[in-house]
Structures are given as C-alpha cells and as structure tokens.
Amino acid sequence: MPITIGRPIDNTSVYILDEHLQQTAVGIIGELCIGGADVTQGYLNRDELTQDRFLPNPYRTGDTIYKTGDLARYNADGTLDCLGRIDNQVKIRGFRIELGEIESVVTQHSGVQDTVIVAQTTPAGSKHLVGYVIPQAGTTPKVSDLRNFSKTKLPDYMVPATFITLETFPLTANGKINRLALPKPDGERPDLGNMFVPPRTPAEKKLTTIWEDVLLVNNIGVNDSFFDLGGDSLLIVRVLNKIRNNFQSQLAVHDLFQYRTVRTLAEHLTDTSTSINGKASQKIDDRAAKRRDAVNRQKKRNLARQRARRS
C-alpha cells in the first residue's frame, strides 16, 4: 500500500525516473532516485553494484544520483508516496502489480497470520500469482475462502490463482524470506470446501480432461468451480477453444461464466447438442416428407394423363 514519506530535505534532490531515466509526471510511478550533497560516490569495494546504483545526474552537471530500487510517485502537493520495491512488482495479464499490496489484503483475513505472494511462470508460459500463508493458530483457511475474500478487495487480475499453507516461510542467511525456496504448487486439487465427485458421463470426463490440461490441476471434481481452481479470463479462452474442438460446439465466453462447474457445463453442452441434433433430425424428416409429397403428386399427374389418353 502507498506510504506518504513527505518532501525532500534540504540539499537533497529527489527524482522519480522511468527506465530511460526520464522524469515521470505527477502521479506516475517510477524509481525513486536521490541526488545532492549527501549522496556518496558508491559502495566500498563493490564496483559492479556501484555502477548499477550510482549514476551521473542527468539533470545537474557534476552531481551523482542514487537509484534506490524503490517505487514512488509525486503527489500534486509535492509530497512523495513510496509504493514498495521494484523487485516486488510484476506484470500479470498486462497489468503492473505490486505484490505487497496483495499481501496486505490477504493478511487481513481472520484466519491468516502472514502472507507472501509470488508470481510464477506456468509450464504453458503464462504467469500467475501464488499465495503462501501462515494460518492463525487453530485455523486452516480454505483456498476458496481466501480467493473469495481477496475478490472482495482486489481486481480479478490481482487475485492469486491458488494458495499454499505453510507452518513457516523459508529464510535467507540474512533472515529475509527466501521467495525462491517457496514450494511450487504440486498440481493436486486444492481444498475447496466441497466433496470430490469424479466425472461419470462421457461429457464430464472429456471436460475434466480439458480443465486439468489447462489449469494444471489433477483430480478435478465435477462440482469444482473453474474459478476456484485458478481459472481466469485468459484461461477461459484456451478452455473455450478446446471445448469447441472436442464438442463441435459454438460455446460462448459468457457460458463459462454461467456454467462454472464440469457438471453444469456438461449438462448445458449435452442439452445444446440434443437440441441441435433434434432440429437437424426434424429438418431431415421434413425434407423426406416433402420428397414423398412431390413423388405422390407426380404419380397423380401421371395417372391423370394416362386416363386422359384412354378417353
């Protein structure tokens, strides 16, 4: 969440710069860079890091600026907002996201003691958010509960696809959370708060296979919600294409929002197919009847001509 840190102190210049070292406009987020008399020339015996963080000030000759690695923005009144670290910001589905903002929201859940949010790349090449939570003593929040809670406070693209419960977070030698050591989702069906019911009909089995392939989750039940399993608007498109290819159906995007479980979607597809087949069968019957009528009329005309010639 944004933290207002006031205005620059005397003899200090503060710049909010983009990746090209251009100053951003008021309200636009960039990297907080500091110049002025109090900025040193670099790190002791850390030449590589010095070259990365300490640069000649492009706006004041002979001055040095220090790139803090913090995200910030200027407000209209001249104060500064700090929005966290650059390395805690990721891009998901075209949106730039501050992971700390999501962590702050999830930690507000009554069953959560602490939270870490990580952006992970799936085998399909897309990025999604994974939440790691340490629960409050005596509680075990369900994935569906955490996702539903997050949805009330965050836009869809900021809601983690899944959550993993841990007793403690792995730490680095410096005592910081080691995000790289956090376990990756194992692909097993999360605790959604409903009993697992396996697919039974051919349509349910086919849909379950499609969902498992796209969502990278095993053992999906017919009553599991596509969205509780981590589905989002981008994954809907992939599912839709597979369903159209496998069912020869003209399923629309809004259908997947309406029929969110394998069971309801299978029933919808079956009903639609039956209706289409019924209409097709009726058309065939109608054409056959028309042909019979035409043949009978022709027979009557031929018979009438024969009688006319005899008379």
pLDDT tens for each residue of 174-203? 888 888 899 988 778 877 778 889 999 999
Q: Where in the chain is the domain with CATH 1.10.1200.10?
A: 194-310
pLDDT at 129 over 80: yes
- Collapsed DSSP state (helix, strand, coil) of residue 177: strand
- What pLDDT score was predicted for residue 201? 92
- Collapsed DSSP state (helix, strand, coil) of residue 179: helix
Beta bridge partners of 85: 70
Ramachandran region of residue 45, left (φ > 0), alpha (ψ -120 to 50) or beta?
left
Give the Cα-Cα-Cα angle 168, 154, 190 (nearest 5 degrees).
50
> Which of the four pLDDT bands, split at 50, 70 and 90, describes residue 275?
very low
Mean pLDDT of 255-260: 90
Ramachandran region of residue 42, left (φ > 0), alpha (ψ -120 to 50) or beta?
left
pTM of the predicted model over 0.85 = no
CATH of domain 3-85: 2.30.38.10
Instruction: For domain 194-310, give the CATH superfamily.
Output: ACP-like (1.10.1200.10)
Mean pLDDT over the full length of the chain: 84
Please tell me the distance from the alpha carbon of residue 54 to that of residue 44, in angstroms, as a whole number: 12
Q: Where in the chain is the domain with CATH 2.30.38.10?
A: 3-85
Please tell me the distance from the alpha carbon of residue 174 to that of residue 189, in angstroms, as a whole number: 35
CATH topology of domain 89-181: GMP Synthetase; Chain A, domain 3 (3.30.300)
